[in-house]
Amino acid sequence: MDKAEFSQRPVPALADCQNQPDSRQLRIDKVGVKGLLHPIEVLDRAMERQSTVAKCSLLVDLPKDFKGTHMSRFVEVLNAHGRMVNVENLPAMLHELQKKLQAQVAHIVMEFPYFIEKAAPVTGAKGLVDYQVTFDAAAHGKDVTFTVTVTVPVTTLCPCSKAISAYGAHNQRGYVTLALRSVRPIWIEDMITMMEESASSEVYSLLKRPDEKFVTEHAFDHPVFVEDLVRNVALRCNAHPDITWYRVEAENMESIHNHSAYACIEKPA
């Protein structure tokens, strides 16, 4: 049977299992789709749009009376915006999810790489550095909250190692993660700067020998423990008038231990 013949056949009523009642009477906090790749656009500090690919999660709450949710509707909401998914239309997408799925609460999480062209500190040689960014938007009724999270690779040099060693000091790559909410949007680039300036040195994708000398010596002159790192970032957040909540985490991938060093500071909401 070809498609034309099939399309002419009468269509029987299809069972809607999701709308059937559920006798267990247990509300589900989050249900939906995860790991869906989708192109998005992000506005950078230069007011240009950067195209990237996000791993998306779209979730809602499910009342205790319903057996299941309609998974296809999540994808419909996402696809309805084409390639123009960005921060500006996330609230509208959240409310569309609430309406289509008869939900009180909706969540959209987008994880994506964000690229910045950085010039080496001495020679000015340019290369791209990638940072991991997450947009986490949630609607509770009409109220929408938005959290942006950025993870930044940095160099840290151990103050204790420097103090006790006759020469040299051990250093390692660390990762700083800052999540925040604010009364006005904070540029991703500004969040990155807050974290990089709190470390022993920032990292680059392209360094010539004069640059490597500078970075090595700069890190040696600015040793920080993992505790120093989170405190330095927290102080910068506390001084920012628009930040209402934050959580800063740092993990050093220790070069002389078989474990990581970790610290976290969170400002109460």
pLDDT: which is higher, 214 or 64: 214
Residue 15 belongs to a domain: no
pLDDT: which is higher, 261 or 3: 261
The token pair that represents 38 in the structure block = 């989708």
Residue 47 belongs to a domain: yes
Distance of alpha carbon 108 from alpha carbon 185, whole angstroms: 17
Q: Give the range among 32-36, 63-67, 131-135, 185-189 with minimum mean pLDDT.
A: 63-67
pLDDT band at 63 (very low <50, low <70, confident <90, very high): confident
pLDDT band at 10 (very low <50, low <70, confident <90, very high): low
For position 96, what pLDDT does the model report? 95
Helices 71-79, 90-101: axis angle to 10 degrees equals 150
Residue 72 belongs to a domain: yes
Q: Please name which of 93, 52, 95, 102 lies closest in space to residue 75, comparing C-alpha atoms.
A: 93
Q: How many domains does the chain have?
A: 1
Q: Burial of 245 by CB count in 10 Å (0-12 exposed, 13-18 middle, 19+ buried)?
A: middle
Q: Is the pLDDT of residue 133 over 60?
A: yes
Residue 16 belongs to a domain: no
Q: Please name which of 101, 81, 103 lies closest in space to residue 90, comparing C-alpha atoms.
A: 81
DSSP letter string, 44-97:
-TTS-EEEEEEEEEEEEEE-TTBS---HHHHHHHHHTTTT---GGGHHHHHHHH
Region 126-149 average pLDDT: 96
Which amino acid is residue 163, in one-letter code? A
Residue-number span of the structural domain to which 160 is assigned: 25-266
Helices 226-239, 188-196: axis angle to 10 degrees equals 140
Residue 122 belongs to a domain: yes
Neighbouring C-beta atoms of residue 46, cutoff 10 Å: 9
Which amino acid is residue 9, in one-letter code? R
% of the chain residues with pLDDT over 70: 91
What is the torsional sign of CA 67, 71, 77, 78?
positive
Residue 50 belongs to a domain: yes
Neighbouring C-beta atoms of residue 19, cutoff 10 Å: 13
The CATH number covering residue 49 comes to 3.10.270.10
pLDDT band at 115 (very low <50, low <70, confident <90, very high): very high
Residue 198 belongs to a domain: yes
For position 46, what pLDDT does the model report? 82
Q: What is the DSSP letter of 236?
A: H
Which amino acid is residue 12, in one-letter code? P
Bridge-partner residues for 108, per DSSP? 58, 137
In sequence order, which ranges of 188-251 are alpha helices (DSSP H)?
188-196, 209-221, 226-239
Residue 103 belongs to a domain: yes
